[in-house]
Chain A
Amino acid sequence: MNDEDLERWTGEALRAKPDPMQAPAGFTDRVMARVAAAAVESRAVPTWLIAASDPVAAVGLTVALVLALLASWWPERLLGVAALANAWVWNGAASLARDLDPAALLTLVACSTLLIGAVVWRTWRATERALILALTGRRGS
């Protein structure tokens, strides 16, 4: 049988289509339940709005942010507190990880980076002062 004959034969053989099929009962409901879940997942919830679902984490984040701001201009006394705040942020992130959308995760990473930056900066300043003191034998101004 050549290609043309085969094409004709297939056309004839498949001309009668099988009975139409119906989706299983409840199909639409199951799809819509998944659509609703997808809508929740894709909704970008800013981290500062997480308070609605997890007030503890939101308070933690707010405190951490305030401490980070303080640590950025208040001398090394706040170093330990900033480190603690950093841990607090990540604790919040871990507790929320299951529900986090990318935007919220990015905000948490940004907060954390800010805190780590503050800690590194204050540590460097403290080391620098200690070095100056050790080398000159005088307290730096």
Chain B
Amino acid sequence: MKPEPGTSPSKARVETPEERDWIARCRAGDARAYRALVERYQDRAYALAYRMVRSRADAEEIAQDAFVRAWRGIGEFRGDASFMTWLYRILVRLALDRAETLKARRAREVAVEDREEPVSLPPDLGLARRMDQLLGELPPRERAALTLFYYEDRPIAEIAQMLGMPENTVKTHMSRGRAALREAYEKAERLGGVHER
């Protein structure tokens, strides 16, 4: 049986001796070791950034920024958490800032166009992708909390650290996010867009 999200450490969170060696070499300024780390985590970092901002160009920029900042700060990396968790913290903050900016921009565009339509999803889209799209319509903090909890299997305490807010606030965002997700799901279902196959 699959464990509940955020309750068990994922494999990626466990640092291998090879990775610890790379980090030690990075601290000594070895860019080749850092390249190995980037290659290992680039897909996950990019995917998380994309899920938070829903723009490929922005996601790449954010993921790149996160890696560059991690390189600059590698000397301060104490190893309390894994490199990936530490990288995620940097990335999530950057992505949240960008998501807020994009949200404000979209709000202005909607105000200009004066329209608000429920999400309409192609019927041939798989359930997972449809839910992912609906998740993308949530406000940034709610989207971030749910994405990290359900897709990245991060515990709430860690999400709180990443988002820079108390655990109870994370729970509030998650609760609101679930309600908003359910509402969006029902709207889309009424439009005939979400059907479990």
Contact = CB atoms under 8 A, between A and B. Distances in A.
Interface in B77-106: none
A35 B47 contact: no
B56 A24 contact: yes
Contacts of B22: none
A19 B150 CA distance: 14
A19 to B, nearest CB: 7
Contacts of B46: 21-24, 27
Interface stretch (A9-17, A60-68, A69-77): A9-17
Nearest to A15: B2
A10 B127 CA distance: 13
Interface residues of B, number: 39
A17 B67 contact: no
B151 A28 contact: no
B64 A3 contact: no
A31 B42 contact: yes
Interface in B1-52: 2, 4-5, 29, 31, 34-35, 38-39, 42-43, 45-47, 50
A30 B31 CA distance: 13
- B-side interface mostly: helix
A39 B135 contact: no
B127 A16 contact: yes
Nearest to B153: A17
Interface in B154-188: 175, 178-179, 181-182, 185
The 9 tightest CB contacts between A and B, nearest first, are A21-B47, A23-B46, A16-B128, A14-B150, A23-B42, A18-B132, A10-B178, A6-B178, A31-B67
26 contacts: A9-B178, A13-B131, A14-B135, A14-B150, A15-B150, A18-B128, A19-B128, A19-B129, A20-B47, A21-B46, A21-B47, A22-B43, A23-B46, A23-B60, A23-B63, A27-B38, A27-B60, A28-B38, A30-B64, A31-B64, A32-B31, A32-B34, A35-B67, A35-B68, A35-B71, A42-B72
Interface of B: 2, 4-5, 29, 31, 34-35, 38-39, 42-43, 45-47, 50, 56, 60, 63-64, 67-68, 71-72, 126-129, 131-132, 135, 146, 150-151, 175, 178-179, 181-182, 185
